């Protein structure tokens, strides 16, 4: 793990002077549209630690937004990347192909839900994978409509912004958006009007009724859903909701696209979040954790759907770049060798009791939720009215940062603190991070 001592060290205020100087240069050179949540400039990272340019060592509860699941600079990833970069860096798979792309597609066929025959296509980013999943679904079904959920996040390109539910900061002033996108309610247990026990059944009933009345089953190419919503606030649908949606899709000739870009590759304690309930999507999009930090994304699906697209209809100059593929093979090897689904479940076992203890102490913690190493707390100013408290959320987040703990916020209402530690984090750093979080809470409420 890159030889970094697994210890938090604060040499300076956070951010320190070297980071501050770099941030001044950033402001003069980088678009203001690209903002930084915690402007410490990173020099090295590994295990559960980020080392910044001032020599501070921060505890990472973010994994670069759920990417470095195997850890930063994970040894098998580094070895494979170095060897591949020395061999060749690019040919374009569509021109003169190479084995690493095929090996990643084979691994995806093996690991993704379902034992049917599968095919994959590789891309560079999550948004690009989602765009292509929609292209494939439309081509295979001959239908146009796509159904997406409240609180969804699918990316920042035009089509994926259109699928994304939240205006600020993702969509504001960026319209017009793509057509033939329809939005339905999400099964959000904490905020379900008649209570969590009714959520699965009622949310499904609303989904089915709205698609029938407003879109028409026969016009619907696909339903796209994050099995646990990411940017929308780690909303975990109640058991039974996803299976009902999957059954409805099958009964109506509608393709189910599981967007597992944030949840996939061991993050939730299974290889994929769909595995939790045995849901088998027709198409699955992956990215983030797949390649230990290198840009790689994929659409994997039923062979007959993926092969319905005409030759040349899918691709791109860099999609499935050989160095990114080598990284993915190293990451997947690590996940298997180190049983990272099991490690994610151990992280859940360590976090959840602590978060629940905090929730018992602070009424502002309205909900503790998530699965595996994808966990969150939702903050409210009034526990009965469940009034979102984005100001407290921002204050706790900031207080964590000041103590050298990298935390992230999320949620449609900006009132969710989310925890996505690398699965290479030792327990003592996770515990220390939770202590810091608790201290930040005590100081902020």
Ligand X SMILES: Cc1ncc(COP(=O)(O)O)c(C=O)c1O
Among 122, 224, 287, 324, binds ligand X (CB under 6 A): 287
Q: Does 301 bind ligand X (CB under 6 A)?
A: no
Residue 253 CB, nearest approach to ligand X (Å):
25
Q: Which stretch binds ligand X (CB under 6 A): 43-51, 143-151, 224-232, 346-354?
A: 224-232
Q: Which stretch binds ligand X (CB under 6 A): 33-41, 81-89, 119-127, 346-354?
A: 119-127
Residue 127 or 392: the one with the smaller Cβ distance to ligand X is: 127
Window 41-70: contact mask with ligand X (x via CB under 6 A): ------------------------x-----
Residue 105 or 161: the one with the smaller Cβ distance to ligand X is: 161
Q: Does 259 bind ligand X (CB under 6 A)?
A: yes
Among 153, 192, 204, 207, binds ligand X (CB under 6 A): 153
Among 226, 275, 403, 432, binds ligand X (CB under 6 A): 226
Q: Does 131 bind ligand X (CB under 6 A)?
A: no
Residue 265 CB, nearest approach to ligand X (Å):
12
Token pair belonging to 72: 């930063």
Q: Does 320 bind ligand X (CB under 6 A)?
A: no
Q: Which stretch binds ligand X (CB under 6 A): 152-160, 173-181, 244-252, 418-426?
A: 152-160
Q: Which stretch binds ligand X (CB under 6 A): 121-129, 216-224, 324-332, 385-393?
A: 121-129
Among 8, 76, 151, 154, binds ligand X (CB under 6 A): 154
- Residue with smallest beta-carbon separation from ligand X: 126
Beta bridge partners of 147: 182, 223
Residue 343 or 418: the one with the smaller Cβ distance to ligand X is: 418
Q: Which stretch binds ligand X (CB under 6 A): 39-47, 147-155, 271-279, 349-357?
A: 147-155
Residue 107 or 420: the one with the smaller Cβ distance to ligand X is: 420
Neighbours of 70 (CB within 10 A): 30
CA 5 – CA 151 distance, rounded (Å): 39
Q: Does 371 bind ligand X (CB under 6 A)?
A: no
Residue 388 CB, nearest approach to ligand X (Å):
20
Among 46, 230, 370, 372, binds ligand X (CB under 6 A): 230
Q: Does 284 bind ligand X (CB under 6 A)?
A: no
Q: Does 150 bind ligand X (CB under 6 A)?
A: no
Q: Does 344 bind ligand X (CB under 6 A)?
A: no
Residue 40 CB, nearest approach to ligand X (Å):
21
276 prior amide bond cis, ω within 30: no
Token pair belonging to 220: 């619907």
The residues that touch ligand X, with contacts defined as CB under 6 A, are: 65, 125-127, 130, 153-155, 226, 230-231, 259, 261-262, 287
């Amino acid at each position: 793990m890159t030889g970094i001592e697994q210890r938090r060290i604060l040499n300076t205020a956070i951010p320190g002077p070297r980071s501050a100087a770099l941030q001044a240069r950033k402001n003069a050179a980088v678009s203001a549209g690209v903002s930084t949540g915690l402007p410490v400039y990173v020099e090295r990272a590994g295990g559960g630690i980020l080392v910044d340019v001032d020599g501070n060592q921060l505890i990472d509860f973010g994994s670069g937004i759920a990417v470095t699941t195997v850890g930063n600079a994970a040894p098998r990833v580094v070895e494979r990347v170095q060897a591949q970069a020395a061999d060749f860096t690019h040919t374009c798979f569509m021109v003169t192909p190479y084995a690493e792309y095929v090996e990643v597609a084979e691994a995806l066929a093996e690991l993704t839900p379902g034992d049917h025959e599968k095919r994959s296509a590789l891309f560079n980013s999550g948004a690009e994978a989602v765009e292509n999943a929609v292209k494939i679904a439309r081509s295979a079904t001959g239908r146009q409509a796509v159904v997406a959920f409240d609180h969804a996040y699918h990316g920042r390109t035009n089509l994926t912004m259109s699928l994304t539910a939240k205006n600020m900061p993702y969509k504001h002033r960026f319209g017009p958006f793509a057509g033939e996108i329809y939005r339905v309610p999400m099964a959000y247990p904490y905020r379900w009007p008649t209570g969590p026990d009714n959520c699965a059944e009622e949310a499904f009933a609303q989904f089915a009724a709205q698609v029938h009345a407003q879109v028409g089953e026969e016009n619907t190419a696909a339903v796209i859903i994050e099995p646990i919503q990411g940017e929308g606030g780690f909303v975990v649908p109640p058991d039974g909701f996803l299976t009902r949606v999957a059954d409805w899709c099958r009964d109506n000739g509608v393709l189910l696209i599981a967007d597992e870009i944030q949840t996939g590759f061991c993050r939730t304690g299974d290889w994929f979040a769909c595995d939790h309930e045995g849901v088998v999507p027709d198409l699955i999009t992956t990215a983030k954790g797949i390649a230990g930090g290198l840009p790689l994304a994929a659409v994997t699906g039923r062979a007959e759907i993926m092969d319905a697209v005409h030759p040349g209809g899918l691709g791109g100059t860099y999609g499935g770049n050989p160095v990114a593929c080598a990284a993915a093979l190293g990451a997947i090897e690590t996940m298997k060798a180190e049983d990272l689904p099991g490690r994610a479940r151990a992280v859940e076992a360590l976090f959840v009791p602590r978060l629940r203890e905090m929730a018992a102490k602070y009424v502002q913690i309205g909900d503790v939720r998530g699965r595996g190493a994808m966990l969150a707390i939702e903050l409210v100013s009034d526990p009965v009215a469940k009034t979102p408290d984005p100001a407290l959320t921002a204050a706790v987040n900031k207080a964590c940062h000041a103590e050298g703990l990298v935390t992230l916020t999320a949620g449609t209402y900006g009132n969710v603190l989310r925890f996505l530690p690398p699965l290479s984090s030792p327990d003592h750093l996770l515990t220390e991070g939770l202590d810091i979080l608790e201290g930040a809470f005590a100081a902020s409420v």
